[in-house]
Amino acid sequence: MNRSYLVTAIVAVVAVLVVWRLACGRDGTLGAAVESVKADVQESVLPDPGKPESHLVIRKAMNEQRRRENEEWTASNIQARPDLYIEHCRKMLSDYAAQYGAAIIETRSAINLAKRGIEAAESDAASYIGFLKQAKAALADPDAKWPAKVGVYTYESAAQVRDAVVATDKKLSECEALIAGKRTSCEEYGVSLAELEKGRDRVARELRELETSAQRLKAGTLKNAVDGIRANIDALLSGVEAIPEVANAAPSVGRAAAPASSADDVFKRRGIE
């Protein structure tokens, strides 16, 4: 059992060394390889679904990528192998384009979900308002006989209707708070969506420029003049035209009315005549 474990461990170590050799080349170091793998794993994670700050996750990853770029791709390295540098940039930007695309889909889904929640809450609120109006009419009728049907239910007395009015007012206030909160979320998601689309377009534009540069390099017309490419990539990753943070303000609570103590208070506050 111990011998089998030892053989397995040796095989695993050899495999790691082989992968390291392939990834880093003769001049690479194990420390650099480990750091690169750690960073790739951390930044390959897509933003959490339904998060309005998704674009900030991507932006932070891009800023960290810029730090590594400055350490790993020096001017001399780029001039020595511009073909490798262009291919590196193409892969990096393609990864970010995929992240932007996923975040855009998630944000649009979150907006649609919030809108459906608003529609459902508004429908509930309308039914509550309808009941309050019917209750007001029933309680104001001097000839009303009890038990009587008000809305969809039958009530034994006017006192029961008054209690129902107070309870309904509470539910209506909860609907209003829900609607206000989801509208705030929609606004925040809308800001995020616009910025995500802007970031996606910038990455796509840089990818197109990169493809043109790659063709020029193959044709021998680019030579070693890749400083412009490096400057564009650096500007993209550094946050030039950086995405602004969306304030995580607490949702509005609608009218935030104090709990009503009587049906008359409800009718007066709601303006139900």
Give me the residue spans of the domains in the chain: 51-270
Dist CA 259 CA 166 (whole Å): 8
Give the contacts of 134 (CB within 8 A, at least 6 positions apart): 150, 151
Name which of 96, 64, 63 is nearest 205 in CA terms.
96
Name which of 258, 226, 197 is nearest 76 in CA terms.
226
**What does the pLDDT profile of the chain (273 residues) look like in tens digits?**
444 444 344 334 334 333 334 334 434 333 333 333 333 333 333 444 445 556 677 888 888 888 888 888 888 888 888 889 889 999 999 999 999 999 999 999 999 999 999 999 999 999 999 999 999 999 999 999 999 999 999 999 999 999 999 999 999 999 999 999 999 999 999 999 999 999 999 999 999 988 888 887 777 666 555 667 888 888 888 764 434 333 333 343 444 455 667 999 999 999 998
Q: Which amino acid is at 198?
A: K
Q: Give the 3-state secondary structure of residue 218.
A: helix
* pTM summary value: 0.67
